[in-house]
Chain A
């Protein structure tokens, strides 16, 4: 099974900061990686798919990158509404493992 290691598990930042969350797969996943944002008490929301493709309607301050086994989600100019937990998920193979999540506090 493919394991996903996400870091950091939490971070605190200020409005306007740039933050980066990383996700490492235990094996090659061919850019088959998505990022989700989950706000408290809500279902997750898709932000990025295919490692770097921004979902329609997602603000351009979010961006994804990486390749092979190492991937990242960057939020430029952090906003108060970005307070949430962020998860990566690989969809290269089953089971489709999620990363452990990164809680972003502002």
Chain B
């Protein structure tokens, strides 16, 4: 079965960086794009960006441009999200999520990781 297992909770100081991993199993890693979505406590979902694991191509929401980097290690089926220059506003649960194509060829999220809580506090 498809699984996306994320790394554990992190506590960071303002100005620091965080790197969250997302280990996949149950499908061919390079065949499905990976998205990253975050959710502050009690708030809604915020899409951050996507990555094509085959080519390494990425796309980022304007809000995170310059601070976010999505990478992958295809040999171990793992995707990574690094966010730099952290502030308290970045305190949130971060999710990785797999894309799937619908009948028109457009891609949507079908499976989610369990989430990783990142707390930014001095």
Of residues 31 through 66 on chain B, the ones whose CB sits less than 8 Å from some CB of chain A are 35, 37, 44-47, 50, 59, 61-62
Given the known inter-chain contacts A43-B113, A101-B45, please indicate yes or no for A91 contacting B95, CB distance below 8 A.
no
A87 and chain B: residue at smallest CB distance: B45
B113 A91 Cβ-Cβ under 8 A: no
Give the Cβ gap from A102 to chain B, nearest Cβ, in Å.
10
Point out which of A30, A36, A46, A95 has the most chain B C-beta atoms below 10 A from its C-beta. A95
Q: Could you say which residues of chain A place their CB within 8 Å of the CB of B46?
A: 98
**Known A-B contacts A32-B108, A34-B108, A55-B110; A94 and B44 likewise in contact (beta carbons under 8 Å):** no
Q: B47 touching A44 by the CB < 8 A rule?
A: no
A95 to B113, CA, bound (A): 20
Closest-CB distance, A26 to chain B (whole angstroms): 15
Interface residues of B (CB under 8 A from A): 35, 37, 44-47, 50, 59, 61-62, 95, 100, 102-104, 106-115
